[in-house]
């Protein structure tokens, strides 16, 4: 099982605050049955340049790998980031460096507001550069008027959708989550975990619910989809 969205890398964003916490998060996920984790720290182009972010992320990776040397965890790690969309994102020269390492897939966070037609075109331009955007926690945007239609447009253009475990675990949204999954629209699920308290790994709860609400083949299909990306990705641990 794969966690496709995490803030486990230490001291690089608002997620894990040190390498010990990162290790504890990985152990929790491991105990919840997760075998592969995609590391996706926030990249905000308005806050730092692509070069500065890349450097900080690399330092953080080394810190985590050092910790794992002392205390190994039976889990595979892959490197990516969660890039906040902005109109000129497609123009960023080093955009490919922000894709999941070894692949052409890039996790993109969209604005939490009604989207403009320009945003659909912006996503199209990213696709035009040979990258496939995976829209992070897509369920969090569709409450805004008009976004659902634009999201489907992006899906038709080839974008993929990632859903957070919380949407499945929350009783109020569970039925909607299951409907989306059964429709085949969901490419991957992720915990989007940030810490050990209010945004802790919540993968197992989702799995228990999904095993009840989905058929065997639906469950297997959902869990295997992100493997099509990760089989080509560069494993960093
Ligand atoms: Fe996130």
Looking at residues 158-179, what average pLDDT do you find?
A: 98
Q: How far apart are CA 59 and CA 180, in angstroms?
A: 38
Distance from Cα 214 to the centre of ligand 1, integer Å: 26
Distance from Cα 231 to the centre of ligand 1, integer Å: 22
Instruction: Write down the domain spans for the chain.
Output: 2-230
DSSP symbol at 231: T
User: Quick one: pLDDT at residue 114?
Assistant: 98
**Quick one: what percent of the chain has pLDDT higher than 90?**
97
Distance from Cα 216 to the centre of ligand 1, integer Å: 29
Distance from Cα 172 to the centre of ligand 1, integer Å: 21
Q: How far apart are CA 183 and CA 211, in angstroms?
A: 16
Distance from Cα 110 to the centre of ligand 1, integer Å: 11
* Cα atoms in the Cβ-side hemisphere of radius 13 Å centred on 185: 19
What region does 83 belong to: left with phi over 0, alpha with psi -120 to 50, or beta? beta
Q: Are 178 and 213 in contact (CB under 8 A)?
A: yes
DSSP symbol at 146: T
User: Quick one: pLDDT at residue 67?
Assistant: 97
Q: How far apart are CA 113 and CA 8, in angstroms?
A: 27
Distance from Cα 11 to the centre of ligand 1, integer Å: 15
Pick from 216, 169, 162: nearest CA to 188:
162
Distance from Cα 202 to the centre of ligand 1, integer Å: 14
Structural class in CATH, domain 2-230 = alpha beta
Q: How far apart are CA 121 and CA 127, in angstroms?
A: 10
Q: Are 12 and 41 in contact (CB under 8 A)?
A: yes
Q: What is the mean pLDDT of the chain?
A: 97
Distance from Cα 195 to the centre of ligand 1, integer Å: 12
Distance from Cα 43 to the centre of ligand 1, integer Å: 10
User: Quick one: pLDDT at residue 194?
Assistant: 98
Q: Is the pLDDT of residue 46 over 90?
A: no
Distance from Cα 37 to the centre of ligand 1, integer Å: 13
Q: How far apart are CA 192 and CA 6, in angstroms?
A: 4
User: Quick one: pLDDT at residue 157?
Assistant: 97
Distance from Cα 24 to the centre of ligand 1, integer Å: 18
Q: Is the pLDDT of residue 77 over 90?
A: yes
Q: How do residues 119-168 score in pLDDT, each as one tens digit? A: 999 999 999 999 999 999 999 999 999 999 999 999 999 999 999 999 99
Quick check: helix, strand or coil at residue 177?
A: helix
- Other Cβ atoms closer than 10 A to 144: 15
Distance from Cα 194 to the centre of ligand 1, integer Å: 8
Distance from Cα 211 to the centre of ligand 1, integer Å: 25
Looking at residues 23-30, what average pLDDT do you find?
A: 98
DSSP symbol at 164: E
Question: CB under 8 Å to 68, separation ≥6 — which residues?
Answer: 23, 26, 237
Distance from Cα 40 to the centre of ligand 1, integer Å: 7
- Strand-pairing partners, residue 43, are 83
Both structure tokens of 152: 């489907």
Distance from Cα 84 to the centre of ligand 1, integer Å: 10
Distance from Cα 192 to the centre of ligand 1, integer Å: 5
Both structure tokens of 191: 């915990």
pLDDT band at 223 (very low <50, low <70, confident <90, very high): very high
- Other Cβ atoms closer than 10 A to 161: 20
- Other Cβ atoms closer than 10 A to 101: 16
């Amino acid at each position: 099982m794969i966690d496709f969205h995490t803030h486990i890398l230490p001291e690089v964003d608002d997620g894990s605050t040190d390498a010990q916490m990162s290790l504890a998060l990985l152990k929790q996920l491991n105990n919840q049955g997760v075998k592969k984790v995609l590391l996706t720290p926030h990249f905000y182009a308005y806050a730092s340049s692509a070069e500065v972010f890349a450097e900080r992320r690399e330092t953080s990776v080394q810190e985590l790998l050092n910790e794992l040397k002392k205390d190994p965890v039976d889990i595979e790690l892959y490197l990516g980031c969660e890039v906040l969309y902005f109109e000129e994102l497609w123009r960023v020269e080093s955009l490919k460096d922000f894709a999941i390492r070894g692949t052409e897939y890039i996790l993109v966070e969209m604005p939490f507001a009604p989207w403009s037609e320009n945003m659909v075109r912006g996503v199209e331009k990213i696709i035009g550069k040979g990258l496939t955007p995976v829209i992070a926690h897509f369920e969090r945007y569709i409450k805004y008027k008009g976004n659902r239609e634009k999201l489907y447009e992006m899906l038709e253009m080839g974008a993929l959708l990632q859903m957070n475990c919380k949407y499945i675990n929350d009783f109020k949204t569970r039925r909607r989550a299951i409907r989306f999954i059964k429709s085949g629209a969901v490419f991957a699920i992720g915990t989007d975990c940030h810490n050990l308290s209010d945004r802790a790994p919540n993968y197992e709860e989702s799995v228990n619910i999904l095993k009840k609400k989905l058929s065997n083949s639906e469950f297997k299909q959902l869990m295997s989809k992100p493997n099509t990306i990760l089989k080509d990705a560069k494993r960093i641990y």
